[in-house]
Structure 1
């Protein structure tokens, strides 16, 4: 195995382990991240007096951060898988399918963690993140080839 391929395989394994650990930890439940965001906004924007507006803002920021982390985290997995399988037949499709399958197993694993719930909506967001990352990889690669 070439040195660069070993690097990408190792990076992939580490990133998948990081996602597994984040899924395992109870600190990253929606309720806990909402509390952390509330503390940040309460100090920075003094929303303790306006509970309704503050609650809506905190809920919106919490959802955006959590879904953006799904998009990003699984986009990174898709990119790393593409680097590992770039010399295979249909590397984009293979990378997307494997990322989607990992997203399913991640949500299934999350269903066993106290305080966490599994959501197929999150699997779809993970798949979208993988698609976006692979699309950007394709566009960047094709642009790079045109420059040469």
Structure 2
């Protein structure tokens, strides 16, 4: 079931990412056929003046907070699903792989959005996605540590 949920979320991210002119408040715009911008190539990644590296303007675009909350929720869930699907790895590696893969998916998502008409991929979103994943994974790690300490016998050793 965990693999299916992970695959489903990855597909939904790809579909939403490829929808031109996506508007949070308009469900009819959520999944549309992608329209790719012409005359755009991967060189934007190497151009510091590219829109990819520009910050958002919270004063001119009031929808930014709602869209960013969506990023936080989706990428936190993605990190948890990656973590849940790496049961054959030792715990520290599960956290690391979940965070790295979530960040990589976020990076690929933003690159894809850069090529879609009406969308704008931003490095700030990659950072937001990565931080959301890191926060949820640290929270999970703290919960696991707390639970393991409650289950283990008391020791005189102090950490």
Normalising by structure 2, we get a TM-score of 0.66
The 3 A distance-change label for structure 1 pair 117 and 27 is closer
Q: How does 1:70-109 map to 2 (within 5 A)?
A: 70-89=71-90, 90-109=93-112
Post-superposition shift, 1:26?
Answer: 2.6
Q: Could you tell me how far apart the structure 1 residues matched to 2:147 and 2:2 are?
A: 20
**Paired residue total:** 118
| Corresponding position: 1:138 with 2:141 | yes
> Could you say which structure has the higher helix fraction?
1
Q: How does 1:47-86 map to 2 (within 5 A)?
A: 59-60=61-62, 62-86=63-87
Post-superposition shift, 1:122?
Answer: 0.3
| Corresponding position: 1:10 with 2:14 | no
Q: Could you tell me how far apart the structure 2 residues matched to 1:98 and 1:9 are?
A: 15
Q: Could you tell me how far apart the structure 2 residues matched to 1:81 and 1:138 are?
A: 14
Tell whether the 8 Å contact from 2:80 to 2:137 is kept in structure 1 after alignment.
yes
Q: Could you tell me how far apart the structure 1 residues matched to 2:135 and 2:74 are?
A: 12
Runs of 5+ consecutive residues of structure 1 not aligned to the other structure: 1-6, 37-55
Runs of 5+ consecutive residues of structure 2 not aligned to the other structure: 27-58, 152-159
Q: Could you tell me how far apart the structure 2 residues matched to 1:84 and 1:113 are?
A: 31
